[in-house]
Chains A and B, each alone.
Chain A
């Protein structure tokens, strides 16, 4: 009986070790992408860090539900977006639309060539409905179908938003201040 218990507990701890290993691999492989995504979504470094931490904690708790390692990225993004939404639920009373808040230089890391700074400002100025699919496509490498699934939109809408996002960026780069309004498709 003792030996049986011992086997049982040692197999439990082996499972824990496996889970731990799997989790660490997941963190190492994807923390940078997830953090960058959070940064572009939230535009505040401290909050983004918090949300990413919450995201990975959730991921740890439900790691067993992730069957396919290849789907890990979109799985984490789903958790991240939910965690970010919860942030607004919690703060319902002092809710501020992050897009309305003018932050002096939100994504300034001081280490960037001027060109990137300008691009970062432009990306940051995009409204969320354009910025998010663009991040998913460029940063995360998601396909149109994957973006549609994440955002719960149909693919045509996603493609339209991606088109408009690039269009707005292009216009901003050209110094055109009338962003996108007249370029409807």
Chain B
């Protein structure tokens, strides 16, 4: 093997196992020395190429893959979910706009009239609340109940928003009605008539107090309103 092709082979592949190259190196110490020299240079190159790896790089790569999986799953949410979300938002915003001004109080009134809440109050209450007991509670609002307003099945102090009120549950012809007594000073924003899908409500002023009546049936509410207007004295 001539000098040039020996050098070329070694330079191209210092770890060659070519038997011709090995034989040539055996035969010629100068060739062997050249080979050793190239191998040494390669070892140096290998060390020089061995640059440090950024800290925690493997963890970063594994974490990154996990995050990618996560965002991919999120992106895979179908278009109609986004549509539904935006529809829900529009409904929510318009609902809030419709009830703007007294939404806090009205929402609380509705919350207190919900079936679950009413059931809780009824469970805590005795079957019928006497006129005497009602009047005792009315003193908080400087008022009295001169006549019976119907069968009162529960009477409790409640907080509407942050306003202390007396919540009475009264039996109407077609179902239970709620009557709230609240101080006028704190309920000025409340509309006279309000409603949602299920419930209708009305509020009216009697001297220093406001009476709010809520129920499922418009006629029941109107009837109780009439009775209440003549029964409460403040």
Contacts and interface: CB of A to CB of B under 8 A. Distances in A.
Interface of A: 23-24, 27-28, 31-32, 35-36, 39-40, 45, 49, 52-53, 56-57, 60, 107, 109, 111, 115-116, 119-120, 123, 134-135, 137-139, 144, 159-160, 162-163, 166-167, 169-170, 173, 185
Interface string B70-98: 00000000000000000000000000000
B151 interface: no
B1 interface: no
B65 A163 contact: no
B45 interface: yes
B49 A166 contact: no
Given A31-B57, A31-B58, 6 more contacts: A31-B53, A32-B53, A52-B57, A56-B65, A166-B38, A166-B41
A60 B47 contact: no
A98 B205 CA distance: 82
B44 interface: yes
Contacts of A135: 49
Contacts of A167: 11
B2 to A, nearest CB: 13
| Top 10 A-B residue pairs of the complex, sorted by shortest distance between their CB atoms | A119-B48, A159-B12, A163-B11, A163-B12, A162-B12, A166-B11, A116-B48, A56-B61, A60-B65, A31-B58
B65 A111 contact: no
Contact of A123 (B4, B48, B53, B64): B48
A169 B45 contact: yes
Nearest to A155: B12
A116 B53 contact: no
A36 B50 contact: yes
- Residue in A32, A120, A138, A170 whose Cβ sees the most chain B Cβ within 10 Å: A138
Nearest to A161: B12
A94 B127 CA distance: 84
14 contacts: A31-B58, A49-B57, A52-B61, A56-B61, A60-B68, A115-B44, A116-B48, A119-B44, A135-B49, A138-B46, A159-B13, A162-B11, A166-B12, A173-B41
